[in-house]
Amino acid sequence: MTTGIRIGLTVRALTEADLPSCGWSGDAMHVRQLADQLRRMADGEIDYLAVCTPADLPVALGGIDYTVRPGAGTLWQLGVHPALRSCGIGTFLVRSAEHRIATRGLTRAELGVEDDNPRARALYERLGYRAYGREPDSWDVVAADGSIRRHETMCTLLRKEL
């Protein structure tokens, strides 16, 4: 038996009270680093959006960094709760981020997508993003044994005029 249920989602800035409900978005280090993102948001360097259910719990998160490229908002750490992917929430998150960038008076959105993530890339291209370059990227991840290792990757850079 299947059913379709409509739920209203809202988008707002991430808050400290959300952090205990963000475990789905990454490993323990990622969640700890969300606290740093809250500080950067308070300083005006970034926005960090949370898409929330009627219970006001976050089911999608995404950052916009205004310090990466002059004149642009750079989307990063976009993620939708695994149980709710392919329902249009990622689209809502990206469109909300674009709206936020435009509200800042900027006219360009950018992002990088890993080469092994063709589904995410297809979504961005469907939303009007076009590839313009490539760039290596790296970040720390917590391995299964608790050790920290560096994840090295190659990303395609995409951008969209708003």
Ligand X SMILES: CC(C)(COP(=O)(O)OP(=O)(O)OC[C@H]1O[C@@H](n2cnc3c(N)ncnc32)[C@H](O)[C@@H]1OP(=O)(O)O)[C@@H](O)C(=O)NCCC(=O)NCCS
Residues that bind ligand X (CB under 6 A): 78-80, 85-91, 113, 117, 119-120, 122-123
The nearest distance, CB 161 to ligand X, in angstroms, is 19
The nearest distance, CB 90 to ligand X, in angstroms, is 2
The nearest distance, CB 78 to ligand X, in angstroms, is 5
- Both tokens of 135, joined, read 């760039």
CA–CA separation, 26 and 96 (whole Å): 21
Q: Are 75 and 115 in contact (CB under 8 A)?
A: no
- Both tokens of 105, joined, read 């008076």
- If one counts every other C-beta atom within 10 angstroms of the C-beta of residue 137, the result is 13
The nearest distance, CB 145 to ligand X, in angstroms, is 23
The span from the first CA to the last CA of the chain, in angstroms, equals 42
Of 44 and 154, CB closest to ligand X: 154
Of 53 and 117, CB closest to ligand X: 117
Position closest to ligand X via CB: 90
Largest CA distance in the chain: 51
The nearest distance, CB 67 to ligand X, in angstroms, is 18
Smallest Cα–Cα separation from 156: which of 68, 140, 124, 39?
Answer: 124
List the Cα angle 88/66/70 in 5-degree steps: 120
Of 2 and 145, CB closest to ligand X: 2
Of 44 and 122, CB closest to ligand X: 122
Of 44 and 137, CB closest to ligand X: 137
